[in-house]
Amino acid sequence: MTGLPGRSMGIQEIATVTGLSKSTVSRALRGMSTVADTTIDEVRRVADELGYVPSSAAAGLATGRQRAIGVVVPVIDRWFYVKALGGVDAELRRAGYDLVLYNLGGPGGDRDRAFRRSMLRHRVDGLVLLSLVLDETERAELELTRHPMIVIGGPAPGLRNVGVDDVVVAAVAVDHLCGLGHRDVAYVGGQDEAGMNVAVPWLRRDGFVDALAARGIAVREDWILDGRFSFAGGADAGAALFDRTRGAAIPTAVFCASDEMALGVVLAARRAGLEVPGDVSVMGIDGHEYGEVAGLTTIAQDPVAQGRVAARAVLEEVDGGVAGPLSASPAHLVVRSTTGPVRLQDPPAA
Amino acid sequence: MTGLPGRSMGIQEIATVTGLSKSTVSRALRGMSTVADTTIDEVRRVADELGYVPSSAAAGLATGRQRAIGVVVPVIDRWFYVKALGGVDAELRRAGYDLVLYNLGGPGGDRDRAFRRSMLRHRVDGLVLLSLVLDETERAELELTRHPMIVIGGPAPGLRNVGVDDVVVAAVAVDHLCGLGHRDVAYVGGQDEAGMNVAVPWLRRDGFVDALAARGIAVREDWILDGRFSFAGGADAGAALFDRTRGAAIPTAVFCASDEMALGVVLAARRAGLEVPGDVSVMGIDGHEYGEVAGLTTIAQDPVAQGRVAARAVLEEVDGGVAGPLSASPAHLVVRSTTGPVRLQDPPAA
DNA sequence: GTGAAAGCGCTAACAA
DNA sequence: TTGTTAGCGCTTTCAC
C-alpha cells in the first residue's frame, strides 16, 4: 500500500505530501505536544501510507543519542549469561531501546581487539558488562567513551555492580552442608575457563575455603576440582572424585560453583554406583531450571532480575540520573533432594 | 593519556592537529590505499592520542550502511536459539559487523508491536530470523525495509532458509526406532508454545506421524504429548506416559522433538522405575551437550553452523551479492545408549 | 502551532 | 597523494 520510493523514504517526502515543513513532520512523528492533534494524525497516516521508516543514524547524529545499549558477554552459551541477557533485553524493550550484543567469543575470540573503544563506535549510549573483570588498559579505553557502564556478576573495581555476594553464597552453602554433619566436602569450580577473567569462580572458591577454615576444617587439595562450569566438566570432575580404584577417600558432600556442574556430579555419582544423597550430597549455585526438575539443592539467584536492575540503572544514568550504589541481589538456599545428613559411619562418641 | 575533549572527539580535531583535511583523515582512518603510509601512521597516532572514537551514526548516515545485522529471536533462552545466535555472531564479528538483538520475548512479549518496520529504524543492513513464520502483514512490513533477510529453522514461504529438513529428520528417527523393532512409539513435541508461530514443531510431528503411517503403524492419539520444548515439559510428558495407575499401555519407545524434552522423559522413566533402554527407548533431536554426556540417542544438527551460514548469506547479499538458494544443513543420527531393541514379550511366531 | 535554517560527524565525488 | 565541496536524514534553536 505504497508507492515505492525512488530512494529511501525520508521525512522530507512526508512534508511534501502533507504540505507541512520538515520540522513539523519531525515533531508530529514524535508526538510532541506543541503540534496540533489533527496534524499528528495526518502526518502519521501519510507516513504509514508511504511506508516511512525512520533513520536511527540520522536521529542519532542530530541528537547524539542512539537509543541503544550494548551488552558485553564473555561467551554467549552459558545459562547465566543467557538469562541475564534476557533480563536486560526485557527492560530495554520496555524503554524502546535496542540491544547491541558484543560477544567476546571465549578463548577463540579476539579479546585483545574486543575492548578497543573504537569497537563501540558510539553505537550505544551505555554498556552492561557481564561478569567481566577488566584490566587497567581496558578500563581506561572504555572510560574514554564516556558511557555509563554497569557490570553484572563479578564486582569490578571502580564500576557499579549488581550481583550476589559470592563469598556469602559460599558461606551459606558450607553452613548447609556442615549443618548436615558433613566435614569431608569437595569443591567443583572452574578456572578462568575462557581466558575471560571471570572473577566469580575465584570468589566462590575462596569463599568456600574460608568458610570451611572458619570451622576448623582443612580443605584437601585434591578435592578442589575444575568442572569448567559445564555439565560435562561436572561429570568429569565427579568421575575423578568418585573413582575408588585409586584407593583414595571419597567426600561425603560436593559443593559446586554452578548447577550445571552439580548436575554433572550427580550423574557421575549415579554412574559410580553412589546414592545421592545417601552416599554423597551434592549442591550447586544458580537456580537452574534443570536443577528444579532434577531435585537439586542449590543457592538460587535470579539472573533475569539482575539483568533488569542493571538495564534500569544504565538507562537512568543515560537519562542524566545520578549513579547511586546498587544493593546486592538476594540469593537463597533451596533445599531439595540431593543433600542430606552425612551417613553415620563412626557414630559420635556417646 | 589524552586531553579531555570539550565535546566528543571528531575527525575534525585530528585534521586540525595533523594539519590535514578531514577527507584525508577519514581516508587514513579507514586505511585506504590512496593515502601515504606515513600519513596513515601519523593520523592513527594522533587519533589514539586524542582518544578518538568514531561515530557509527555519522558514517551510517553518509554511507547508508550501518555495518550491523539484526537477529530476531522468538525467545532467547532456548538451546537452539542461543547456539544459532552464537554462530551468527561469530561470523559477523569476523566481518566487523555489529549484532543487534531483537527478542520478541515470548508470549508476554509485544509481538504485535515487534514487527513493525519502524522497529528496525534502518539500524541494521540485514536480518536473520530465527525459526519464525511470519504472516502476510509481517512479511509485507519487513519487505518494506528492503533489507536482505534469511531465516534459520522453519522454512518460510518466500524467504531463503537454512536448516535441517525436519520431515526427513522425523523419518530417520522412525527408521531407527522401527529398525529396533518398536511399534508402540510415542511422540513428545510441543505446541506453538510461545504464541510464536514456530513451524518446526508441526513439521516434526507431521513427519513422525507420516513416517509411522508409511509403515502401517497407526499413531495413538494419547501418545502424542506436549513437552513444551523444555526439560520440565519432557519430564511432565514422560510422567503422564509412564503412569501405570491409569492402567493404560506404555509405549516401548518415545521420540522427542528436542533433546531437552528427551532428557526429561528419561528422568521420568527412571522415576517410574523403568529402565532405559531396557523397558523404554528414548531419543531426541538436536545434539545438545547434555545429551552427549547423558548418553542420549539423538539426531544431531549443528545450529552454530547454521548461524554462520545464515550470517554469511546476509552479509553477501548486503554486499550486493546475489541471493542464491541455500542447501539444507545435514543432520545425522547419533546412536548412544538410550535406544535399544524392543523387549521381546510376545516372541514372533516361529 | 508552524516554518526556516543551521548543523550533528562523517563520506564521496570532483578537483588539484 | 591531498583538499574542497556537498550532502546523508534528522533535530533544534529562533522566528513568525
Query: B300-314: per-residue pLDDT in tens?
Result: 999 999 999 999 999
Q: Percent of chain B having pLDDT more than 70?
A: 91
- Rounded alpha-carbon distances, angstroms, from residue B196 to A34, B19, B108, B187, B193: 39, 57, 11, 21, 7
> What is the distance in angstroms between the CA of the first residue and the CA of the last residue of chain B?
89
Contacts of B5 in chain A (CB under 8 A): none
Mean pLDDT calculated for residue range B18-44: 96
Beta-sheet pairing, B332-334 with B68-73: unpaired
Residues A135-171: tens digit of each pLDDT: 777 788 888 888 999 999 878 888 899 999 999 999 9
- Cα torsion for B190, B194, B197, B198, to the nearest 10°? -50
- For the stretch B132-138, contacts whose Cβ atoms lie closer than 8 Å and that sit 24 or more positions apart, written own/partner, are B132/B72, B132/B74, B132/B156, B132/B196, B132/B197, B132/B198, B133/B197, B133/B198, B133/B199, B134/B197, B135/B197
Q: To the nearest 10°, the Cα dihedral for A236, A240, A245, A250?
A: -130
Which positions in chain A touch B57 (Cβ < 8 Å)?
Answer: 56-58, 60-61, 66, 122-123
Which nucleotide is closest to the Cα of B8 by its C1'?
C9
Instruction: Output the 3-class SS for chain A.
Output: CCCCCCCCCCHHHHHHHHCCCHHHHHHHHCCCCCCCHHHHHHHHHHHHHHCCCCCHHHHHHHHCCCCEEEEEECCCCCHHHHHHHHHHHHHHHHHCCEEEEEECCCCCCCHHHHCCHHHHCCCCCEEEEECCCCCHHHHHHHHHCCCCEEEECCCCCCCCEECCCHHHHHHHHHHHHHHCCCCCEEEEECCCCCCCCCCHHHHHHHHHHHHHHCCCCCCCHHHEEECCCCHHHHHHHHHHHCCHHHCCCCCCEEEECCHHHHHHHHHHHHHCCCCCCCCCEEEEEECCHHHHHHCCEEEECCHHHHHHHHHHHHHHHHCCCCCCCCCCCCCEEECCCCCCCCCCCCCCCC
CB pair distance less than 8 Å for B8 and A122? yes
Which grid coordinates belong to B14? 585530528
For residue B284, give the H/E element and its range. Answer: strand B281-286
Element (H, E) at B260: helix B259-271
Residue pairs spanning A and B at CB distance below 8 A: 146
Amino acid identity for residue A335 in this structure: V
The average pLDDT across A111-130 equals: 79
* CB of A294 nearer than 7 A to strand D: no
Q: What is the mean pLDDT of residues A60-87?
A: 95
- CB < 7 A to strand D: residues 50-79, chain A: 52, 54-55, 58-59, 61-63
Average pLDDT, chain B: 89
Instruction: Give mean pLDDT, residues B322-344.
Output: 90
Does the pLDDT at position A347 exceed 60? no
pTM of the predicted model as reported, rounded to 2 decimal places: 0.93
pLDDT of residue B197: 54
Q: How far apart are CA B343 and CA B276, in angstroms?
A: 11
d(CA B204, CA B66): 38
Q: C-alpha grid cell for residue A111? A: 579479546
pLDDT at res. A178: 96
Per-residue pLDDT, averaged over B74-101, amounts to: 94
Contact residues on chain B for A99, CB-CB shorter than 8 A: 100-101, 103
> What is the SS3 assignment for B265?
helix
Residues of B in contact with A109 (CB under 8 A): 93
A117: which residues sit within 8 A by CB, 6+ positions away? Answer: A141, A142, A144, A145, B51, B53
Half-sphere exposure of A142 (CA within 13 A, CB side): 26
In this prediction, residue B4 has a pLDDT band, given cuts at 50, 70 and 90, of: very low
- B54 and A292 within 8 Å at the Cβ level: the answer is no
Give me the mean pLDDT over the B147-152 stretch.
Answer: 93
> Helix count (H) and strand count (E) of chain B?
14, 11
Contact flag, residue B18 CB and nucleic strand D, below 7 A: no
Asked whether residue B19's C-beta has any atom of DNA/RNA strand D within 7 A, the reply is: yes
**B211 burial via Cβ count (<10 Å: 0-12, 13-18, 19+):** buried
CB contact under 8 A, B122 and A56: yes
Does the pLDDT of residue B5 top 50, yes or no? no
Residues whose C-beta lies under 7 Å from strand C: A 19-24, 27, 33-36, 39, 58, 61-62, 64; B 7-8, 10-12, 22-23, 26, 29-30, 52, 54-55, 58-59, 61-63
Residue B206 CB burial class (10 angstroms; 0-12, 13-18, ≥19): middle
Angle at B226 between CA B220 and CA B232, to 5 degrees: 135
pLDDT tens track for B112-144: 545 677 778 899 999 999 987 677 777 788 887
Instruction: Evaluate if residue A276 carries a pLDDT over 50.
Output: yes
Residue B134's identity, in one-letter code, is L
Whole-angstrom CA distances from B239 to A227, A291, B40, B221, B285 are: 31, 17, 68, 17, 20
Using pLDDT thresholds of 50, 70 and 90, give the confidence band for residue B110. low
**Backbone dihedral angles phi then psi of residue B188, each to the nearest 5 degrees:** -115, 110
**Does residue B6 carry a pLDDT above 90?**
no
The pLDDT value recorded for residue A345 is 60
Averaged pLDDT, B244-264? 91
Mutation target for B interface from A61, A80, A92: give the one with most B CBs within 10 A. Answer: A61
> How many CB atoms are closer than 10 A to CB B262?
31
pLDDT of residue B3: 35
CA of A254 to C1' of D9 (A): 61
pLDDT confidence bin for B324, thresholds 50/70/90: confident
Q: Rounded CA gap, B80 and A74, in Å?
A: 19
3-class DSSP state for residue B285?
strand
Checking if the pLDDT of A195 tops 60, the result is no
**pLDDT the model gives residue B1:** 33
Q: Is A29's pLDDT higher than 70? A: yes
**Which 3 state secondary structure label does DSSP give B282?**
strand
Residue B331 has pLDDT above 50, yes or no: yes
Assigned C-alpha cell, B225? 504429548
Once rounded to an integer, what is the mean pLDDT over residues B213-231? 93
